[in-house]
Chain A
Amino acid sequence: MTRQLGDRYRSLLRFYPADYRAERGDEIVDTYLDLARPGQRRPSRADVVDLASGGARQHLRARHAHGLADALPFAATLALSAATALAAVWLVAAETVTIPVGVFWTSAGPFATLGAVAWIVWLLASVAALLGRGRPVVLLALLATVATIPASVLTPYARPPLFVLLPQVALGLLALFLPARRVSYEPAVVGLAAAGIAVLVRTDFFYYNLLDVLALVALGLASAVAVAGVVFTARGDTRGWWPFVLLLGPILLLALTRLSESGPQQWPKFSAAALTAVVSMVVAVAAVPASLWLSGRRRRTRCSECGQRTVG
């Protein structure tokens, strides 16, 4: 029984780099066996998550990029704060628009589109984060946001434009890395402030008149990660500029929407918005391996005696 359990734990060590596995594998498996309950036959789900995240951290450590993993909770908190602010503005300012008489439109109850459901779940996610339970509600909000697309096809109800949904999904994917069981009050505070401002300036806006909101949130996020980057670097904090790299995708998606407007219409054409989204995602995805490569390269120094490159 113990041998079978040990083999199952050992098979999970594939998450780790090979050299680390060779050096530390027995120690990790033996510690798991020491902790095993009597009669336990297989690793628990929490054990799998523990070894998967431990393996990911070792891969980053091997590339001298601890900071990436360390920066995820911080970047996730910023992402949820931005997503909450946007959800609050969309719900208060865009979803309560008065549909002009004569326009054929099927309202979703008191709201203009199905997006209201997703925005409400995003607001609930910020409340759940106050209780240290944000992650599952963020997942729910993410699913609700994506679900507006097929739901709008299958029902007579409209959905928010894609240039609103896409940045929200990008922010949501990052917000999934919220620290488990840690209270985060920032998203609720930022959301409340955004809702307050939206109530004060609210007139008959719809998503298409509110494109500046995307640019403003992009500016806010960029400023926050720039300040964090300077502070972390000055303090010698391993997170350094990683939050900037992690949030680059959402920032580009938010910022470039305003810039991709074309012609007399005050919102981006589908082709321009799609191109913007693809460029943003390619740049953001490429930024992570490029930063990892640079991070590893910076650590390499040339040995003064033998002239060979060594990792320091």
Chain B
Amino acid sequence: MREPTFLILTALARAPMHGYGLITEVAELSGGRVELRPGTLYGALDRLADDGLVERDREEIVDGRARRYYRLTDRGETALGAEVERLSHTVRAAQARLSARATQRPAVA
């Protein structure tokens, strides 16, 4: 799973969101590293909808602007959970290696 996809699914895990909300949430989750633009975001959402990982939730008109909300499906929740588990396993392995390296290093006087 690519990072933008992972971040979009993570953003939707809390509550259904609209496009603008997703862009700001993804930027916040990634510490400003990933800045999605609308063309990229809606393309990604279409792909996720095709794969059954997200679906449309509801539509609202706020200040005359269309707001369409998207939510995570059960399948999306499972896919996100599997990816979180995979990443956690990798992080745990890296931490174990780093800890082992720290204990093997000779003390500096």
Q: Are A26's CB and B37's CB within 8 A?
A: no
Q: How many residues on chain B are close to A (CB under 8 Å)? A: 17
Bound form: Cα–Cα A28–B50 in Å: 19
Give the residue among B19, B23, B41 with the most A Cβ atoms within 10 A. B19
Bound form: Cα–Cα A46–B38 in Å: 11
Bound form: Cα–Cα A272–B23 in Å: 54
Cβ < 8 Å to A, chain B residues 31-51: 37-43, 46-47, 50
Q: Are A27's CB and B43's CB within 8 A?
A: no
Bound form: Cα–Cα A31–B23 in Å: 9
Also in contact, A24 and B39, with CB within 8 A (given A33-B65, A34-B65): no
Q: Are B23's CB and A54's CB within 8 A?
A: no
A54 to chain B, nearest CB (A): 3
- Which of B37, B41, B42, B67 contacts A47, CB < 8 Å? B37
Cβ < 8 Å to B, chain A residues 48-85: 50-51, 53-55, 57-58, 61, 66
Q: How many residues on chain A are close to B (CB under 8 Å)? A: 21
Does A234 touch B at the CB level, under 8 Å? no
Does A7 touch B at the CB level, under 8 Å? no
Residues of B within 8 A of A50 (CB): 37-40
Give the residue among A46, A53, A57 with the most B Cβ atoms within 10 A. A57
Residues of B within 8 A of A24 (CB): 42
Bound form: Cα–Cα A55–B42 in Å: 11
The A/B interface has a contact count, at CB < 8 Å, of 49
Q: Are A31's CB and B20's CB within 8 A?
A: yes
Q: Are A35's CB and B20's CB within 8 A?
A: yes
Cβ < 8 Å to A, chain B residues 16-30: 19-20, 23
- Which of B23, B37, B42, B46 contacts A46, CB < 8 Å? B37
Does A30 touch B at the CB level, under 8 Å? yes
Does B102 touch A at the CB level, under 8 Å? no
Q: Are B66's CB and A58's CB within 8 A?
A: no
Closest residue of chain B to A46 (Cβ to Cβ) is: B37
Residues of B within 8 A of A205 (CB): none
Q: Are A57's CB and B23's CB within 8 A?
A: no
Q: Are A27's CB and B37's CB within 8 A?
A: no
Residues of B within 8 A of A28 (CB): 19, 38-39, 42
Bound form: Cα–Cα A34–B65 in Å: 9
Bound form: Cα–Cα A31–B37 in Å: 9
Bound form: Cα–Cα A24–B38 in Å: 11
Does A32 touch B at the CB level, under 8 Å? yes
Residues of B within 8 A of A34 (CB): 20, 65
Chain B 52-73 interface mask (CB, 8 Å, partner A; 1/0) = 0000000000000111100000
Q: Are A27's CB and B39's CB within 8 A?
A: no
Q: Are A31's CB and B19's CB within 8 A?
A: yes
Residues of A within 8 A of B47 (CB): 61, 66
A-B contact pairs, 9 of them (CB 8 A): A27-B19, A27-B42, A27-B66, A31-B20, A31-B38, A34-B20, A50-B39, A51-B39, A54-B43
